[in-house]
Structure 1
Amino acid sequence: MQTNDLINALRADAAKQAMPLGYSWWIAIVAATIIAAGAFFILIGPRPDFTVAAHTPRFLFKFIVTLALVVVAFALLRVLSRPGSDVRHVAYWLVLMPILLGTAVAAELFAVPSDQLVTVWWGSNVYVCLTFIPLIGLGALAVFLAALRHGAPTRPRLAGAVAGLLAGGIAATFYAAHCTDDSPLFVATWYSIAIAGLVALGAICGRRVARW
């Protein structure tokens, strides 16, 4: 390659603008949601009485919690993808989910007879929940880990964990449409454990994939 050709090539590379990081995250969340939706409808689909259940507060509450988790985790992950960013002002919002669940669980303890608490806590779909939330969220997690490579996270393990949290929130939102166990006790326990599996996987993969 001649000198002039090299100069022209370098100039062309410099003229190329990388996709803005904020824009790439919006593409990632849309892609992850589509992938999770595809997995949900292929694997299990909504519960048969979805339209009836959609008019009950306990069923709708599941979506309030999971969607709140998605919003906060998405904001936190975007901050973590930028080096030197202060995450505290976003991370504080993570306490919203325990507050919501804790309030609902307290109400449930008063509303449900004591001899039925174990039944509603265990529910009828524990193993389905623990299996399909991670399965639905795996593709979304892969998308978010790939998006992290477009950024420059200084704490890749933490960023990977939050990517798993976000993927888990999306997966839990879809799974909630299938789940017939609407008790906050069930949601607080088993949804949390299922999402934690994706958080752990994200932390492990983030350490390898997202470092730079």
Structure 2
Amino acid sequence: MRRRFAAALAVGLVGALALYLLFIGPRPDIAEAVRTVRFNLKFLDALALALPSLLLLVRLARPDAEPGALALWLFAPLILLALAVVVELVVVPSDEWLPRLIGHNMRYCTTMIPLMAAPILAALIVAMRAGAPQHPGWTGALAGAAAAGIASFLYASHCPDDSPLFVATWYPVATLVCAGAGALAGRRFLAW
């Protein structure tokens, strides 16, 4: 299963990268942005979602598998975002909270992350068909979350909205879309 997952990730990532290069690419001021904590936090949070989701997905491909303590790592991106939001609320004047939350690209963010996640999710679902997950819907949702984490990592280099208020609002919305699509795909294609 691990080789299948690695191959699926490679194929899905190629598809996501193609969409990234075709539609968005990196933001023009990336050289300056990379020196800021807010910009780098987006990547850290995306990895904090993608890595435990992928590891848990590999584990749950077997029918006798239990998530165990690894499932607790799924809270890491939420805790990280919550801490970042608290800091943002402390250091930024309250009249800037709403503009930072809304940002400039909320519609684009909630469209592009699921779009780039789609080939990754499809590849993961195909790989999972060789397994026998005990809970196909939940496993599919987890595949969607993993795909969203990877897509968020890519999208973060394009996104001009670095505020944790924006990231904690719109990235999770995009992730929920991906998880929902994954749950539907899991029920349809992973049931045995």
TM-score range, shorter chain: over 0.9
Q: Aligned to 2:74, which of 94, 106, 115?
A: 94
Identity across aligned pairs (percent)?
42
TM-score (normalizing by structure 2):
0.97
Partner of 1:4: none
Partner of 1:85: 65
Gaps of 5+ in 2: none
The structure with more radius of gyration: 1
Find the aligned partners of 1:57 and 1:84 in 2 and give their Cα distance: 42
Find the aligned partners of 1:165 and 1:30 in 2 and give their Cα distance: 17
Instruction: List per-residue Cα deviations over 1:88-113 (Å, max 9, x = no partner).
Output: 22111111111101110000000110
- Count residues in correspondence: 192
TM-score (normalizing by structure 1):
0.88
Q: Aligned to 2:31, which of 26, 45, 51?
A: 51
Once the two structures are TM-superposed, the CA of residue 52 in structure 1 deviates from its matched residue by 1.4
Find the aligned partners of 1:27 and 1:138 in 2 and give their Cα distance: 16
RMSD: 0.8
Stretch moving more, 148-157 or 28-37: 28-37
Contact 2:114 2:177 in 1 (8 A): yes
Find the aligned partners of 1:34 and 1:64 in 2 and give their Cα distance: 21
Runs of 4+ with deviation above 6 angstroms:
none
* Secondary structure in structure 2 of the residue aligned to 1:150: coil
Contact 2:13 2:119 in 1 (8 A): no
* Secondary structure in structure 1 of the residue aligned to 2:129: helix
Contact 2:136 2:191 in 1 (8 A): yes
Tell me which of the two structures has the higher relative contact order, counting C-alpha pairs closer than 8 angstroms and 6 or more residues apart: 2
Once the two structures are TM-superposed, the CA of residue 34 in structure 1 deviates from its matched residue by 1.8
Instruction: Name the aligned partner's letter for residue 57 of structure 1.
Output: V
Q: Aligned to 1:38, which of 3, 14, 18?
A: 18
Instruction: Name the aligned partner's letter for residue 47 of structure 1.
Output: R
Q: Aligned to 1:151, which of 90, 106, 131?
A: 131
Instruction: List per-residue Cα deviations over 1:25-59 (Å, max 9, x = no partner).
Output: 11222222221111111111111111211111110
* Secondary structure in structure 1 of the residue aligned to 2:62: coil
Partner of 2:42: 62
Instruction: Name the aligned partner's letter for residue 175 of structure 2.
Output: I
